[in-house]
Amino acid sequence: MEAKAETDLSVSQPSSGSSLESQPVVSETGGSSNVATETITPATSEETLSSIPVTERPTEELTQPKEEPFIATTEEKDVDGLIADMTVRQKITHILMPDFRKWQAEGEAAATDVTVVHDEIAEAIDQYDFGGVILFAENVKATDQTFHLTQSLQDAAISNKANNGKIPLLIGIDQEGGIVYRLGSGTALPGNMAIGATDSTMIAKEAGEIIGRELSALGINVDFAPVLDTNNNPNNPVIGLRSFSSDPERVARLGVAMMSGIQDYNVAVAAKHFPGHGDTAVDSHTGLPLVDKSYDQLNALELLPFKVAVENGVDMLMTAHIQYPQIEKDKVISKDSGEEIYIPATLSDDILTGLVRNQYGYEGIIISDAMGMDAIAKNFGETEAALMAIQAGVDIVLMPTVLRSKADLAKIDRIIDAIEVAVQSGQLDESRLDASVKRILTLKEKRGVLNFKTEDKSLETALAQVGSELNRDLERMIAASAVTVVKNDDTILPFKVTEGDHVLLLGAYNNELPGLELGMRRLKADGIIPETVTFEAVRYNNQSTIDQLKEKIDAASHVIVISETGREAQLAADVWLTKIPTEVVAYANETNKKAAVLSISKPYDVANYPAAKAILAVYGNKGMDPTESLRPDNAFGPNITAGVEVIFNGLKHIGRLPVDIPMIENGSLSDTAIAYGINYGLFYNDPVKQIEVNLPESVPQNTAFSALLNYHSLLGLEKAEHTIKIQINTKHFTAQPHETYTIDGDYVIFNRAANASGDLQLYLVGTQLGEAQPILDIVIQDAIGRVFSLEEAANDLRPVYVVKATDDTKEPTQPTEGGADKKELDTKPVIQPLANKKEETSSKQLPSTGQVSDQASLILGLGLSLLALAYKRRREV
């Protein structure tokens, strides 16, 4: 019988889910985000992978009859012909993309979520020839409802007589996956930083295909993704988990792979936020950030992923509302502060025309970020900002104003009128409008939108694709593979529980607890842990104390405590989000309980728990609604559940840190010292060892010989400066001087630069006849004092026989390479934490019992490849 409970120790109860201070900022317009979705078909237990049905895309374009007295249908006119038939006003409205997130109809008391196309909205689409609309979570609450909504929007665009030319809409959405998603009925992918932790282009493309396939089934033809910002600023308040990595090459590699997957289902993509939002400490939703970097600096980091995306056929680039004073030097007076500000990228001709068009040669669409964000709205007027954006090179003005009622249409009229006057006065050349409209229509033609028919889509397909069983299974694999084990002292991971054990699950917010519980239920269902193991989910909050939790910890054999710190201020020792996990770890250590810290937000807090024996990062803090099932009906954040499963070894992980983790000093992230470098990660359940020592079987007495040490990919330590100390058995051997190392008593010391080769050559001389072990110990210490040593119990360094030399020389000869005598050890020693030399080293020790899991990576890759191959073959049938 499963015993479980949800206990809330809070005194003052925050709202369910993450609080405002830890809640991630959502996408372009600040709307609340929903879960990401995937796109594959459900499989029953009796189906093989090859029999899983996958909905095919339409293979032929259907024509639509022309209606008089209108000029022409889109089928009968090419793009240039459609443009020629447009009035100036139609061209203007075609480059506008508003939202209808909420609407207050006449006679209603307040605005409500738009889930159907009301008559007033249909009339607005009839009156204005908008090129597209953007949807938000408020619009897409269920699969059938979303399908009917998109069909109705297209009906309004195609059928209404005011829509001259009957051009279907671009229907866009922010479906990034992870903390920014909209579809509540789909599958919540773990997010970009989680995918960055896998560093797998296959996984990135798989995630993109899931997104693209679901959006296509729902009739959504534009995804404002992927995020190509390089998150090289740990204090970034808006990007964070939305970025793949702090390495621009990884961002480019994974971003293009995801982009390709989305486009495979004829969904256009918009890479964002050009030229880069990763190195800001201000959120452009609420302020106007500034990145004071030269072009060369930007080119080496922020710009790289976007350039690669352009080279690989990205449909759109979304601009950033950010100042780049070394690129765009022109200033204007802010309407908000009255002070001079630099023109942000969205309004900058130097950036959009000079850099994107002229230098990159980009011919795709440039779309603005939402113009209602404070960075634009507070500093510029609506009409002024829209006109400046178009003049700078923007092709689609996203959300030029807030539309919440019929009365608000007057605001859109003012914007249209101002642009039309600019054309009539010569301030804006009509050819500039023509170029943008042509790019939009060309994209619509390329992605099958121009000749779209509502009958091309079916509700049955949408219901089969969105949130399918196979999607959820793939999501689970991706989320688990991303989990990164950062610390594993005393080999306490994976947790091993026996009959009657009790696991305490501690979370900071209500929506975290169901994810923890789901992980435990899945472990039982999969037979990983016994049915008799009990668990209890307990919430802590800003009023909780360790004394309240001690009784719970005392009753447990194992403890998992969530750490969720979304911003630097929360890293301070006296802030409850840090204080409670720290005190839980301390008390668990004191009472000999096995405890693991699960970092679920940006992973920088993993450096904040030096006393913790086990720390894991999962890169996603989206929780879920309470459920008793193993497969929740609604979309949910898979990261927390995956972390629990990896802790008990229910699922395999291949995650490595996708960003550098700074040291935390007095609650602040260090600007210089790195606690854990990018690519660091620990693994278990793989026999691969971390270090190889090759020695000859025998050597002549008083003759120098070489020992070869190899430690490629040794826990990521070789990525930074580090020191290797090798203890020599000086009773039987002496070390020979060499320029690559120094000798200090019994120790040979290698001071290694960052990214130095993993091969070390050590030269020794056997002075005493007989069998002896030349190397007694190997100690590795990194630049911040973490220490590893060979596991003493192994004691498996090869002995060497020192034999009498054939001549009577007493002087050492030149070193001899192992050659034919060099033989790999049968057992390669494992690096372990230095336990008996604490007085000699820093107390900050790195866990080391995990081992590099190339096999796990291979198995995961093979599994995903087979799944992908199965449904791709079905798609081609």
Residues identified as active-site: 285, 369
The whole-angstrom separation of Cα 302 and Cα 282 is 16
Q: Are 617 and 657 in contact (CB under 8 A)?
A: yes
AA letter at 335: K
The whole-angstrom separation of Cα 232 and Cα 674 is 13
The whole-angstrom separation of Cα 786 and Cα 677 is 13
The set of residues, in sequence order, having a beta carbon less than 8 Å from that of 65 and lying 6+ positions away, is 73
Distance between terminal CA atoms of the chain?
47
Q: Are 557 and 533 in contact (CB under 8 A)?
A: no
The Cβ-side half-sphere exposure at 825, using a 13 Å CA radius, reads 24
- The tokens describing 32, both together, are 């609340």
CB atoms within 10 A of CB 56: 11
- The tokens describing 90, both together, are 């139609």
State whether residue 328 is helix, strand or coil: coil
The whole-angstrom separation of Cα 681 and Cα 615 is 11
Query: Which of 178-207 are b and which e, b meaning 16 or more Cβ less than 10 Å from the residue's Cβ?
Result: bbbbbbbbbbbbbbbbbbbbbbbbebbbbb
The whole-angstrom separation of Cα 63 and Cα 166 is 12
Starting at the edge strand found earlier in the chain, the sheet holding 365-367 runs 132-135, 170-173, 222-223, 268-274, 316-319, 365-367
The whole-angstrom separation of Cα 185 and Cα 635 is 5
DSSP string, 701-770: TT-EEEEEEE-TTSTTGGGS-EEEEEEE-TTTEEEPPBTTBEEETTEEEEEEPTT--SEEEEEEEE-SSE
Query: Which of 439-450 are b and which e, b meaning 16 or more Cβ less than 10 Å from the residue's Cβ?
Result: bbbebbeebbbb
- Which residue from 849, 815, 476, 463 is spatially nearest to 682, judged by alpha carbons? 849
Q: Are 344 and 288 in contact (CB under 8 A)?
A: yes
Residue with token string 């808006």:
238
Query: Which of 798-829 are b and which e, b meaning 16 or more Cβ less than 10 Å from the residue's Cβ?
Result: bebebeebeeeeeebeebbebeeebeeeeebb
H or E element in which residue 661 lies: strand 661-665
Note the Cα 244 to chain centre separation in Å.
Answer: 4
State whether residue 632 is helix, strand or coil: coil
Largest CA distance in the chain: 112
Note the Cα 692 to chain centre separation in Å.
Answer: 34
Q: What angle do CA 596, 602, 604 make, to 5 degrees?
A: 70
Which pairing describes strands 614-617 and 594-599: parallel, antiparallel, or unpaired?
parallel
The Cβ-side half-sphere exposure at 537, using a 13 Å CA radius, reads 22
- The tokens describing 292, both together, are 């004071």
Handedness of CA 205, 206, 207, 213 (dihedral sign): positive
Note the Cα 300 to chain centre separation in Å.
Answer: 21
AA letter at 618: V
